Amino acid sequence: MEISDLLSESSIIANLRVTSKKQAMQELSRKASEVCGLHERAIFDVLMERERLGTTGVGNAIAIPHGKLANLDRLYGVFARLENPVDFNAIDDQPVDLIFMLLAPETAGADHLKALARVSRLLRDGATCDKLRGSDDPAALYALLTDSSATRAA
């Protein structure tokens, strides 16, 4: 599974202006609704339900919120680069400025875990994250995220 299987250039928010975790999740849900066709409230509710189980702020100013929805036909990703970091209750207590949201069908099982692992590997690479933070162009962000050599090196 490649990042390009999850993400399209239209599912990238290059310069998201939000002031809170909740607002970031609302904007990500809105964008995901445009991409996958499900109602943004259903997406938001699933994401927030998952957050109540424990933060998806994984450290190093990165969050990977995720959830499963019944009516999805495949896995979908939405990436946001925040204009200003927000508190995400991350495991390292650092504010978050890169968010990769992942949505999966309820029946995804191992595919959901494989996608989470792929995204996690990609965003563990400090050089890739520095480049993501250095660009506010959706096409450039998409290119960085889907560069298969970067995902293998991470």
Q: Please state the φ and ψ torsions of residue 125, each to the nearest 5 degrees.
A: -80, 110
Residue 21 and residue 87 in contact, taking contact as beta carbons nearer than 8 Å: yes
How confident is the model over 89-98, as a mean pLDDT? 94
List residues bridging with 77 in a β-sheet.
102
Residue 108: pLDDT band (50, 70, 90) is: confident
- The model's pTM is 0.93
CA distance 15 to 11: 13
Enumerate the active-site residues: 66
Which domains does the chain show, CATH number per domain?
3-146 (3.40.930.10)
Q: What pLDDT, on the 0 to 100 scale, is given for residue 151?
A: 43
Report residue 105 as tokens.
């069908």
Tokens 């996690």 correspond to 120
CA distance 2 to 50: 24
Is pLDDT above 50 for 53?
yes
